[in-house]
Amino acid sequence: MISVKTFKSANGAQETFTVITFPSGMPFRKALTKLNKDYSQILKKAVFSRIFLSDIANQHSLLTNLPKHCSVIEQRPIDDSPLTLLVYNLKPESLKNYRLIYSTNLTSLNPFNSFSQTKKIFSNYTSLLKATNLTLRNNVVRTWIYVRDIDNHYAGMVKSRREFFAENGLNPKTRFIASTGIEARLREPGNLVSMDALAIERLNPKQIIRMEAPKYLNPTHEYGVTFERGSKIVFGDRSHLYVSGTASINNKGEILFPFNVEKQTRRAIINVQALLKPHGAKLTDMMYLIIYLRNVADKERVKKIIEAKFPKTPLVFVEGAVCRPNWLVEIEGEAIIPAKTHWPLFR
């Protein structure tokens, strides 16, 4: 099954998000053969892609000739597809005024604690940025942080990130980074933390706008977590709105509707809508969504709500525990809307 959504600008530039799934029960090798046969060009030309697996320890070695910026993560597709693929393509394939730099599968093995591994990952990433004259504060707009056994290792990651950001000038008065912190299994047993990130070259920091909805969600730093609810990047002809992992939370940082996955799903959608609205964006502007479920037994109830609300949006449903045990579902995604500003065009 393939689901596609494209944003087209007046000057002919296109951004396309594609989600590909395979029939339940199809052998993994057969799915790979079909992927390489039917979708190889989409994947080859991708600016960014992510493969969601159910058994990374055994399946990763079968993935060959992957594009440079392909993220591979174990978060089992809830429909029992052998794999799910999210792909982001541009047309034309190169930009004149900016460069999108995706870094994927960033890890550190030693020592065996999430605090130290997170610090090493951010330190190494900062060095990579510096090599191209970029910085964490001025250019990085989105991260995805994957934590093994999140109930035990999330706190160490959060503390390490908070300290690293403070040392590098990211604070409540400047900004943090739109992010998702979610459970996943990683390639090596010793990997407790992994990160994907997006930086934009030739971006003016003033083009990065914090997304807030204070009547619905409070700033994350109020309860010790340092990420933005979302970040809007303003270009000359459009805006990208990166919506962070969003759950059923209120403006006091409290979990709403514990043990009720339907109400949590609806509240998460309301929160996303609240983040988009001040910027003139709607739920229909979402280009893709990833929906994370702590318990796959909830899949039919969550799918019914999400698919009704986002009938034309490519959707990825995977197993992934949220950072607090009572949160049963989390959603994230990206919206694109037309704009006309003095900043250089996106294309």
Three-state DSSP string of the chain: CEEEEEEECCCCCEEEEEEEECCCCCCHHHHHHHHHHHCHHHHHCCCEEEEEECCHHHHHHHCCCCCCCEEEEECCECCCCCCEEEEEEEECCCCCCCEEEEEEEEECCCCCCHHHHHHHHHHHHHHHHHHCCCCHHHHEEEEEEEECCHHHHHHHHHHHHHHHHHHCCCCCCCCCCEEEEEECECCCCCCCEEEEEEEEECCCHHHEEECCCCCCCCCHHHHCCCCECEEEEECCCEEEEEEEEECCECCCCCECCCCCHHHHHHHHHHHHHHHHHHHCCCHHHEEEEEEEECCHHHHHHHHHHHHHHCCCCCEEEEECCCCCCCCCEEEEEEEEEECCCCCCCCC
pLDDT surpassing 90 at residue 159: yes
pLDDT tens digits, 253-300: 999 999 999 999 999 999 999 999 999 999 999 999 999 999 999 999
Select from 3.30.450.20, 3.30.1330.40, 3.30.1600.10, 3.40.50.970 the CATH code of 2-338: 3.30.1330.40
Report pLDDT for 95: 85
In this predicted structure, which of 90-104, 123-137, 242-256 has the lowest mean pLDDT? 90-104
pLDDT band at residue 92 under the 50/70/90 scheme: confident
Report pLDDT for 240: 98
Report pLDDT for 53: 96
pLDDT tens digits, 197-232: 999 999 999 999 999 999 999 999 999 999 999 999
CA 195 to chain centre: 10
Measured CA to CA in angstroms, residue 307 lies from 50, 128, 301, 310 at distances of 21, 39, 10, 5
pLDDT band at residue 64 under the 50/70/90 scheme: confident
Q: Give the mean pLDDT of 130-149.
A: 97
Q: Give the mean pLDDT of 88-100.
A: 90
- How does the average pLDDT of the chain come out, rounded? 95
Report pLDDT for 93: 79
Q: Give the mean pLDDT of 86-113.
A: 92
pLDDT band at residue 68 under the 50/70/90 scheme: confident
Report pLDDT for 202: 96
pLDDT tens digits, 308-328: 999 999 999 999 999 999 999
pLDDT surpassing 90 at residue 10: no
How is the chain split into domains, by residue range?
2-338
Check if the beta carbon of residue 9 is closer than 8 Å to that of residue 238: yes
pLDDT surpassing 90 at residue 196: yes
In angstroms, the CA 19 to CA 314 distance is 6
Q: Give the mean pLDDT of 10-33.
A: 92
Report pLDDT for 12: 80
Report pLDDT for 145: 98
Question: How much is the pTM?
Answer: 0.96
pLDDT band at residue 129 under the 50/70/90 scheme: very high
Q: How many residues does the chain have?
A: 347
